[in-house]
Chain A
Amino acid sequence: MDRDVYKSAFDNIEVSDKAVHDVIQKAAEINSQKGYRRKRRIGVLVPAVLLSIMIITVSVSAATGLTDIFSRYFSQLFTAEDTGFDDYSAEFIEKNAAYDYTTYSQDGVTMSIEGIIGDMNFLLLKSKLTAVDGYDEGTLAAFMSPKLYIGELKQGILPATCYRNIVDEGNDPLVKSAAYLFNYDDVETLLGRTDTETLTGKTATLVIKNTNAYEPIEIDLAEALEQSGEISIEGSDDLNAIPLSKLSIPFGNDFRSSIVLKSVCFVNGKLVLVIDSSGYYENPSIFLRDKISDRIIYRCDGILSAGKGNLEFYAFDIGDIEALENLEIVMPEEHHISLPLSVDNPKELDISGIDQSNIKGVTIESIRVSPLSLNIEGRVQEGTPIVAFENCAIRFKDNSVVKYTANGYYHSKDGVYSTGVPFGKPLDINLMDAVIIECNQTTLEIPIN
């Protein structure tokens, strides 16, 4: 078959601008709800939520261009929000933090962790950045989007929300404050259902990765090649044919010790590093750098890197083996801050005196409240169409009532359900008077103290 004819036939198949436009709209709408838990929903809730998204989408799409939507979407992803977090919230974290002050300095920038509070749904962390000689913007961007790793999980969580300059720091351009709200929902499939028991005792590691800067890995490539036995394969691109040597050189101490160079060889002008990685690194970003020109050499194989078992093959087109002398292995600069993960025990409310007879098919077994969210758990009888706590509210002791939206719920096959209601910013439980929830057109009021 003629490849050109095939290509020209399929060139006629193109995605429509509308489909591209729609997906960006959808991403923007989903992202706007990202701070909320995205539990598995069933039944009629899904169409209801989709309908609401569609209504917003349609009304926005008429007036907004793709670029605007993109900017708005990425503003949400990459920049901080200045709203929703106030002096009160900042003070609250500092006062009630389960973990105290720690600082971390790198390249003239000091990050001070000023407080962390967490519950079974979220982790909220407040920090302050101080630069001695101003900010390298790449470093600042890296500090503003840290990833949180829990225990030995390879998958990190990006902040669902990042609040920047939450407190007036006296207009000092060298001091910036930030708070990050992490949602465990993003790793719940790996962790299992998060709760006090599953989270307590685990180490949380904040990884700040600066992709604009690289740091060298202290491995002598020429020596490693020699130790590998100067393996050289000509006439085949089959990296799987590379015989493995007994080489075992870790990429460094601490975290990078889990990246191990297992072999170096030269295949058809390509330098191939055979890497075994585990722990926090899954397919780590590894590059070569020309020590003279500072040029970064990216791996060239892509798909061919699948490797054997845990081994990953990194091929770099360096042309001549002589070039090896001036090359070094580099990785994006990373800063790691390890923190003991602490989950505050949420307050269990007494529901024994609550009349649940009107909420047919549903039994509430537990209501817990923490400074960050409200959790409702119970059972649903078979055949009950839907359990939705769409309208929840907290009545405070000063008689003010603030409504919060439940963010969906988990509903297992055996009828156990759980729903989370995030508050958005930390609240003092001592100031709360009652939780008000609506379920199946019945309003229940549960005293907090």
Chain B
Amino acid sequence: MDTVDDKANTVLQVIERYKNTVFRIAFAYCKNRSDADDIFQEVILRYLKARPEFNSEEHEKAWFVRVTVNCCKKHFFSSWNRKTMPIDEDIRFETAEQSDLFYAVMDLPLKYRIVIHLYYYEGYKIKQIAEMTKQKETTVATQLQRARQLLKTRLKEELIYG
């Protein structure tokens, strides 16, 4: 039988496993730690409240990503957060390439940031991102293409003028 400690450990492991996935998606949305912290907390509280059962680890991760995206949308579209937020300055990068790319992504419009993050960081396919963000596959594909184009332009500018 799973003891209380076993169950606590299991849930602790789940949080450990997804805490940064959740936080990074939230950060990609909000561009600052404070709001990302709030979203992280909301997602974890939802998990602890619902304690959903998952059929596989993949299913489990998809649940966290989906709920995070939903929480981000809710957070972002509340009137309080419609204002433009500055990028959190307290981030250290090992290389200039990482830094340039990070800030170029952060400079993208909101709808592109999340698609780019799920595609490039989490490795999801277009179909999966469409399901998670409740958009058509063609919409996601277009967003991805435009985001790539914007990044390409901006990184090129960075290279020339930076």
Contact = CB atoms under 8 A, between A and B. Distances in A.
A9 B41 CA distance: 23
A12 B98 contact: yes
Interface stretch (A95-103, A301-309, A318-326, A404-412): A301-309
A70 B12 CA distance: 8
B89 to A, nearest CB: 13
B92 A306 contact: no
Interface in B70-94: 91-94
A5 B61 contact: no
Interface in A309-345: 314
A300 B58 contact: yes
Nearest to B124: A303
B128 A73 contact: no
Contact of A12 (B4, B36, B91): B91
Interface in B60-75: 60-62
A74 B24 contact: no
A385 B28 CA distance: 39
Interface string B115-131: 01100110110011001
Interface of A is mostly: helix
Contacts of A305: 59
Interface in B28-54: 28, 33, 36-37, 40-41, 44-45, 48, 51, 53
Given A7-B121, A8-B98, A19-B40, A78 B132 contact: no
A23 B45 contact: yes
Contacts of B160: none
Interface in B89-110: 91-95, 97-99, 101-102, 105
A137 B1 contact: yes
Contacts of A286: 55
B139 interface: no
Nearest to B66: A303
Contacts of B157: none
A384 interface: no
Interface in A126-155: 137-138, 140-141
B61 A6 contact: no
Contact of A23 (B28, B41, B53): B41
Given A9-B98, A285-B55, A140 B1 contact: yes
Given A13-B24, A305-B59, A3 B91 contact: no
Contacts of A304: 127-128
B140 interface: no
A64 interface: no
A42 interface: no
Contacts of A78: 4, 7
A6 B1 contact: no
B141 interface: no
Contacts, number: 137
A299 B55 contact: yes
Contact of B24 (A10, A26, A158): A10
A100 B6 CA distance: 36
Interface residues of A, number: 50
A15 B92 contact: no
Interface string A97-125: 00000000000000000000000000000
A79 B101 contact: no
Given A15-B40, A141-B2, A10 B102 contact: yes
Nearest to B55: A299
Contacts of A285: 53, 55
Given A6-B120, A13-B24, A26-B45, A74 B55 contact: no
A298 interface: yes
A6 B104 CA distance: 11
Nearest to B41: A23
B8 A73 contact: yes
B55 A302 contact: yes
A12 to B, nearest CB: 6
Nearest to B129: A303
A73 B9 CA distance: 12
A287 interface: yes
B11 A74 contact: yes
Interface in B140-159: 148, 151-152
Contacts of B117: 10
A198 interface: no
B58 A1 contact: no
B132 A19 contact: no
Interface of A: 1, 3, 5-10, 12-16, 19-20, 22-23, 26-27, 30, 67, 70-71, 73-75, 77-79, 137-138, 140-141, 158, 211-212, 238, 285-287, 298-306, 314
Given A8-B94, A19-B41, A70-B11, 6 more contacts: A1-B152, A5-B98, A9-B102, A9-B105, A15-B40, A23-B44
7 contacts: A10-B117, A12-B98, A13-B91, A15-B20, A23-B41, A78-B4, A303-B124
Ranked 3 nearest A-B pairs via Cβ: A137-B1, A302-B58, A15-B23
